[in-house]
Amino acid sequence: MPDGRSDPTLAGHDEVERGRIASDRFSRVDKQLVHQGAIIGFYETVIETSDGERFPRDLIRHPGAVAVVPIDGDEILLVQQYRAALDADLIEIPAGKRDVSDEPPIVTAHRELVEEVGMEAASMELLINVHHSPGFCDEYGHVFLATELRPVPHRREGPEEQAMSIHRLALAEAVEMCLDGRITDAKSMGGILAAARRLGV
């Protein structure tokens, strides 16, 4: 397809991922696609130990993601949105999938910031990288700090985004929400705590 979506599970796998340490005990020797969804692929894999023992593991292949910590003056902008896996709303930082092939993460981050919270950032810098759920999924995320914001019309897509709400609060309050359980989303917790450290909060 001309828009770069012909193989969505490969879009985010074109760079070396930080944090990976080559294993000298285990290696993946087989991988069979069970089902390919619109975004993610479900695989049955076989892992082999250095002693030759083999065992199965399920794997979800994901195109990767970006997330943004938007700081507007003294405030952080968070979104509250429905998450189908939990059948509940979560409070998170804006985020989105890397489902456009060859699009640099920082470009995706700018696009998601406009789509979800209606802001453009004059400054966008990488804060941290995250493996979201490495026990079963290879999703790898880039979390950015966005500052020098200006409002623009948002371009929300899909029913969850259409229904999301925006919360403005002090960054210190967002840190407290990470520590007391009001925010449980891993990428959001990592991004908020990293932003607080970067900004000296």
Co-location of 34 and 129 in the same domain: no
The residue among 42, 61, 80 that closes a domain is 61
2 located within any domain: no
Span 102-113, average pLDDT:
94
Rounded to whole angstroms, the Cα distance separating 41 from 180 reads 34
Count of C-beta atoms within a 10 Å radius of residue 68:
28
Based on the fold, state whether residues 171 and 129 are members of the same structural domain. yes
- Of 144, 148, 138, nearest to 96 (Cα)? 144
Q: Which residue has the tokens 């994901």?
A: 62
Confidence of residue 15 (pLDDT cuts 50, 70, 90): low
- Positions annotated as catalytic residues are 161
Q: Is the residue at 56 inside a domain?
A: yes
Q: Do 150 and 112 belong together in one domain?
A: yes
User: Does 129 fall in a domain?
Assistant: yes
Phi (first) and psi of residue 30, to 5 degrees: -155, 145
CA dihedral of residues 152, 153, 159, 161 (deg, nearest 10): 10
pLDDT over threshold 60, residue 4: no
Domain-ending residue, one of 16, 38, 61? 61
> Is residue 192 assigned to a domain?
yes
Nearest CA-CA partner of 140 in 175, 193, 190: 190
Query: Average model confidence (pLDDT) for the chain?
Result: 89
The answer to pTM > 0.75 is yes
Q: Where is 189: in which H helix or E strand?
A: helix 186-199
CATH of the domain at 167: 3.90.79.10
Q: How many domains in the chain?
A: 2
> Are the C-beta atoms of 130 and 53 separated by less than 8 Å?
no
> In which band, very low, low, confident or very high, does the pLDDT at 99 lie, cut at 50, 70 and 90?
confident
Interval 149-167 mean pLDDT = 88
Residues 56, 148, single domain; the answer is no
At 3 the pLDDT is 32
- The predicted structure's pLDDT at residue 158: 82
Identify the pLDDT of residue 199.
95
Task: Clarify whether residues 82 and 145 are in a common domain.
Answer: yes
Does the residue 19 lie in any domain?
yes
Number of DSSP helices (H) and strands (E) in the chain, helices first: 4, 10
- Residues 53 and 70 grouped into a single domain: no
Higher confidence at residue 160 or residue 12?
160
pLDDT at residue 16, as a whole number = 63
Provide mean pLDDT across the span 132-155: 93
Number of neighbours of residue 129 by Cβ within 10 angstroms: 14
Same structural domain, 69 and 57: no
Q: Residue 11 has what DSSP assignment?
A: T
- Do 147 and 97 fall within a single domain? yes
Q: Residue 3: exposed, middle, or buried by beta-carbon count in 10 A (0-12, 13-18, 19+)?
A: exposed
Residue 186 is encoded by which pair of tokens? 């891993």
- DSSP state for residue 103 in the 8-state scheme: -
30-84 confidence digits (pLDDT tens): 999 999 998 899 999 999 999 999 999 999 999 999 999 999 998 999 999 999 9
Is residue 11 over pLDDT 70? no
pLDDT of residue 32: 95
Question: Could you tell me the maximum CA-CA distance found in the chain, to the nearest angstrom?
Answer: 58
Range of 177's domain? 65-199
pLDDT at 188: 97
**Pair (95, 166) in one structural domain:** yes
- Write the single-letter amino acid at 32: Q
**Are residues 71 and 137 both part of a single domain?**
yes
Do 166 and 119 lie in one domain? The reply is yes
The pLDDT, as a whole number, for residue 8 is 38
